Chains A and B, each alone.
Chain A
Amino acid sequence: DTGVSQDPRHKITKRGQNVTFRCDPISEHNRLYWYRQTLGQGPEFLTYFQNEAQLEKSRLLSDRFSAERPKGSFSTLEIQRTEQGDSAMYLCASSQQGLAGGEQFFGPGTRLTVL
C-alpha cells in the first residue's frame, strides 16, 4: 500500500451539476477524513468516519454535501447542484485510531473547478 489515493485528481464541471469524488485510505487505517482547502487557507474539516460509521458531519458545508463509506474501506464525497463557490481542493486523509493522537496521512487531493 503506497498511501492514500484520490480519484479524480482534477474535475471541471458546470454549475448545477453533481460531482462525486473517491478516496481510498491506507488499508489498515480505520479513520477517514474529508477536508476542503481553498487558496491561501489551511484545510477545513468537513466530516469523518470510523470504519463505516460517520461520526461527525455537522461541519459539512451545506445539505448539498454528503459522504459515504459503505464497507469501511473507500469513501465517496458527493456535491449536488455545484456552485462556483465549491471550487476548491478536496483532501482526504486517513489514520489509525489510537496511534500518535491520530496522525493523519493525506491523499493528493481532487481539485474541483466549477464554471
Chain B
Amino acid sequence: GQNIDQPTEMTATEGAIVQINCTYQTSGFNGLFWYQQHAGEAPTFLSYNVLDGLEEKGRFSSFLSRSKGYSYLLLKELQMKDSASYLCAAYQAGTALIFGKGTTLSVSS
C-alpha cells in the first residue's frame, strides 16, 4: 500500500528552527519531494532527495533515509512568510507524486 504520514500542525516563532518529519511507505519509491503551499495557491517545489543524506538549500534543508522510510524538512531562521502548508510527497517511478496531507506551519512574532 501507500502511506505518507506527517504532523498536521506545527507552531514556531520568528528566527527559530523547525523540523517537519515525514514517514512513507510507497511501492516503486524513487525519491522524496517537499513542496510549500500558501493558502489558496499552488504548491511550489522546495527540495528533492533520492539518495540518503542531507540536501541543503539556503535556509531549507531536507534529509532522507530510504532504509527507514523517513524524511525531514528543516527550516532555519524562520520568517513570518514561512507560514504555509508543507507537503511531503513520494515519487513513484513511472507514475506520479503521492502526497501526504501536509503540515500547516504557523510562525509567530
Chain B residue, CB-CB nearest to A58: B95
Tell me, rounded to whole Å, the shortest Cβ–Cβ distance linking B41 to chain A. 7
**Does B87 make an interface contact (CB < 8 A)?**
yes
**Does A40 make an interface contact (CB < 8 A)?**
yes
Q: Which residues of A contact B94 (CB under 8 A)?
A: 55-56
What is the size, in residues, of chain B's interface with A at 8 Å between Cβ atoms? 24
Describe A's contact surface by its main secondary structure: loop
Please determine whether B50 and A101 come into contact, CB atoms closer than 8 angstroms: yes
Tell me, rounded to whole Å, the shortest Cβ–Cβ distance linking A61 to chain B. 15
Please determine whether A48 and B95 come into contact, CB atoms closer than 8 angstroms: yes
Binding-face segment, B10-18, B69-77, B97-105: B97-105
CA–CA, A101 and B102, complex, Å: 21
Describe B's contact surface by its main secondary structure: strand
**Does B30 make an interface contact (CB < 8 A)?**
yes
Tell me whether A43 and B43 are in contact in the complex, defined as CB-CB below 8 angstroms, given that A56-B96, A101-B31, A101-B48 are known contacts: yes
Q: Which residues of B contact A43 (CB under 8 A)?
A: 43, 87, 97, 99
B-facing residues in A21-39 (Cβ within 8 Å): 33, 35
Q: A33-B96, A109-B42 are in contact. List 15 more A-B contacts (CB 8 A).
A: A35-B99, A41-B101, A41-B102, A42-B4, A42-B87, A43-B99, A55-B94, A56-B94, A56-B95, A91-B42, A102-B31, A102-B97, A104-B33, A104-B97, A106-B43
Q: State the B residues within 8 Å of A (CB).
A: 4, 30-31, 33, 35, 41-45, 48, 50, 87, 89, 91, 94-102
